Amino acid sequence: MPKPVGSVPEADPLFVDLNAARGEIYGYALWKFGEEGWQLAKDCSRVGAVPGVPPSAPGFFSGQIRATASVPECR
């Protein structure tokens, strides 16, 4: 049987945890821009973390989505 061609899955960027690779070890939050500014659309924070602050710059259009890194929960 021939050997597989390509990289080892563990070393291939397609198999890396991209959130951890970006420094988002606590997860992320999705924010949606509208008439009232940025509103939390989805919380994808990991256990022990909370969404960080919303984006500081205003959105370019209503319905724009931005992601920000979550932060450790203060107790």
Where exactly are the structural domains of the chain? 23-72
Q: What is the pLDDT of residues 5-64, one digit of tens each?
A: 555 555 555 555 665 666 668 999 999 999 999 999 999 999 999 999 999 999 999 999
Q: How many residues does the chain have?
A: 75
CA angle 68, 36, 67 (to 5 degrees): 10
Confidence of residue 74 (pLDDT cuts 50, 70, 90): confident
* DSSP codes, 37-49: EEEEEEEEEPTTE
Amino acid (1-letter code) at residue 26: Y
More confident residue, 26 or 3: 26
Kindly provide the b/e burial profile for residues 41-67, where b requires at least 16 CB atoms within 10 angstroms of the residue's own CB: eeeebeeebebbebeeeebeeeeeeee
User: What local confidence, expressed as pLDDT, does residue 25 receive?
Assistant: 85
